[in-house]
Chain A
Amino acid sequence: DGGITQSPKYLFRKEGQNVTLSCEQNLNHDAMYWYRQDPGQGLRLIYYSQIVNDFQKGDIAEGYSVSREKKESFPLTVTSAQKNPTAFYLCASSAHHLNTEAFFGQGTRLTVV
């Protein structure tokens, strides 16, 4: 079935460690996005990519890094520089960057222990 797969669903990280969240889509979409969701704050854009080998910072990119080596994949690394990484992370993709709906994965809940 077509869709977006995020893994893992739950992730625990020790302080000072980098962790990478996986996002894969088989919808043949050009645009992919990473959002962070905190209680009462809606979704905030971390990074987005409109095409392979290109990506742009969103509103809260500090402490995060991404790559887009393949159309299907857009992994997010949460680095030790991210001061408050505990959150729910959602990956999305869309056929066009502006006027088509985004399809979301089921999310990864990251907890720093």
Chain B
Amino acid sequence: AQKVTQAQTEISVVEKEDVTLDCVYETRDTTYYLFWYKQPPSGELVFLIRRNSFDEQNEISGRYSWNFQKSTSSFNFTITASQVVDSAVYFCALSVLYNQGGKLIFGQGTELSVKP
């Protein structure tokens, strides 16, 4: 079965705290892609990062960093020194082959609330 699990439904932190959003995935495919998206209150999903299954290098982009570990099937997302503008729902997603095409499988999302 192919599945993405985001165990944290809601997280609340105070501004400037670091926060890690967990993502665990399941797939038997050897080729797949992992994504993180941000959904602000406006509703539109915004792409943050893509990782393929053959690249386990961690990545840092400003205050954002991602830790991909195939051994534990995890793709965790850390925000350093969180800000109020980081408040949103964050989705982890897995892209796999499906009916000769591909589809994105989303986790349930983690709602992050950053308080001033």
B108 and A42 within 8 A (CB): yes
B9 and A98 within 8 A (CB): no
Contacts of B35 on A, CB cut-off 8 Å? 101
B101 and A97 within 8 A (CB): yes
- Give the interface segment out of A20-28, A65-73, A77-85, A102-110: A102-110
Q: Mark B18-56, 1 if CB is under 8 A from A, else 0.
A: 000000000000000101010000111111001010000
**Is the CB of B91 closer than 8 A to any CB of chain A?**
yes
Contacts of B43 on A, CB cut-off 8 Å? 88, 90, 106-107, 109
A32–B104 alpha-carbon span in the complex (Å): 12
B103 and A58 within 8 A (CB): yes
B42 and A41 within 8 A (CB): no
A104–B42 alpha-carbon span in the complex (Å): 12
A96–B31 alpha-carbon span in the complex (Å): 15
Among B52, B98, B107, max chain A CB count under 10 A is at: B98
A101 and B50 within 8 A (CB): yes
**Is the CB of B106 closer than 8 A to any CB of chain A?**
yes
**Is the CB of B116 closer than 8 A to any CB of chain A?**
no
A52–B52 alpha-carbon span in the complex (Å): 27
A42 and B106 within 8 A (CB): yes
**Is the CB of B61 closer than 8 A to any CB of chain A?**
no
Taking the closest CB of chain B, its distance from the CB of A102, in whole angstroms, is: 6
Contacts of A90 on B, CB cut-off 8 Å? 43, 45
Interface residues of chain B, those whose CB is within 8 Å of chain A, are: 4, 6, 9, 33, 35, 37, 42-47, 50, 52, 91, 95-99, 101-109
10 shortest interchain CB distances as A-B pairs: A98-B102, A97-B102, A104-B45, A107-B43, A101-B47, A43-B106, A42-B106, A42-B108, A97-B101, A106-B44
